[in-house]
A and B are shown apart, each in its own frame.
Chain A
């Protein structure tokens, strides 16, 4: 009995020394998804909570489009610690966003201007058609007036000023209509050409150098010395 109690006492004295106590680290990272981290320059992980032995741990945290942030966290045994961190956008990504915005703005303008010109041409043509119809109607009325009028004075005015004025209106409307149709045709041609041209423009691509750096950071130790992990990125997105 005595021997058993002595054995239990000895065992209880050694337990805290031998057992490695762990704590939980909860990752509250912005962005809230799709981030990865490497613990202690070795273990690549992609999870929101990680159990670690008590002590100071090094973290390299990265997310697409963000910079790698290196930090150290002290994990306390049997406790959950929150790591609250915002990963800033990388300079490359900011430059890419700027280039993309410029590209999109330029493309939008180059495509919008001829469409607006074509729409303007159509409106112009529409107004001209209206004016043409009005002038033609006035001339038809003049012709009917001439056919039935029995007042030489009125007929003289009709032929001397009214009909020439309406003829001039018709001519002006026709010229305007031809101009409007020509403008519309040019606008349509320009729209077609510029849509084709801009569709061949190269869209800026984002080269995430931070990812390359991050992918090359993992060292997996092994019996023969370990493995340095390197990543190869192939962009399969369509421009």
Chain B
């Protein structure tokens, strides 16, 4: 009878102890290269300027937004890509340490007060993961 009690206790202990070992996928959101990343923003606007430019004799305003990448959030130091999508326009930037984790997105034909936004995603090896939106205002 003593052994039966022992086995029962062992079974209960094992059942309770074993239950915690599975990985809850919804909790795996800490890697910026994961499409389901849910941590601090990876991209942040550090500067914006509106410049005039003449194309084919037409003068227009261009908004340049400088974006920095929080590479300190990366699990390891690595080169990476950034995909910037604005409407139907997609730009892809290849960055490494020499770029000081900065790049510029721009849009032409803006008017003062226009707010332009880009959906930015961090990528590697042709696949893209987490990201966030960055916006700039034309002057």
Contacts and interface: CB of A to CB of B under 8 A. Distances in A.
A89 interface: no
Interface residues of B, number: 35
Q: Which 9 A-B pairs have the closest CB atoms?
A: A152-B129, A153-B127, A152-B127, A181-B11, A185-B7, A150-B78, A148-B75, A174-B18, A155-B34
B54 to A, nearest CB: 40
Contact of A192 (B4, B21, B76): B4
Contact of B23 (A167, A174, A181): A167
B34 A152 contact: yes
B1 interface: yes
Contacts of B30: 147
8 contacts: A148-B75, A148-B76, A150-B78, A156-B34, A163-B28, A167-B22, A174-B19, A188-B7
Contacts of B127: 151-153, 156
Given A159-B34, A181-B10, A189-B4, A153 B25 contact: no
Interface stretch (B41-49, B89-97, B118-126): B118-126
Interface stretch (A17-25, A138-146, A224-232): A138-146
Q: Which of B7, B33, B80, B127 has the most CB of A within 10 A?
A: B7
A46 interface: no
Interface in B1-23: 1, 3-4, 7-8, 10-11, 14-15, 18-19, 21-23
Interface in A154-169: 155-156, 159, 163-164, 166-167
A178 B30 CA distance: 33
A185 B1 contact: no
Contacts of A167: 22-23
A209 interface: no
B139 interface: no
A147 B123 contact: no
B103 interface: no
Contacts of B28: 143, 146, 159, 163
A156 B33 CA distance: 9
Contacts of A148: 75-76
Contact of A159 (B8, B18, B25): B25
Contact of A153 (B23, B80, B126): B126
A127 interface: no
A101 B8 CA distance: 37
Interface in B96-139: 122-129
Contacts of A150: 33, 74-76, 78, 80, 124
Given A155-B129, A178-B11, A192-B1, A149 B33 contact: yes
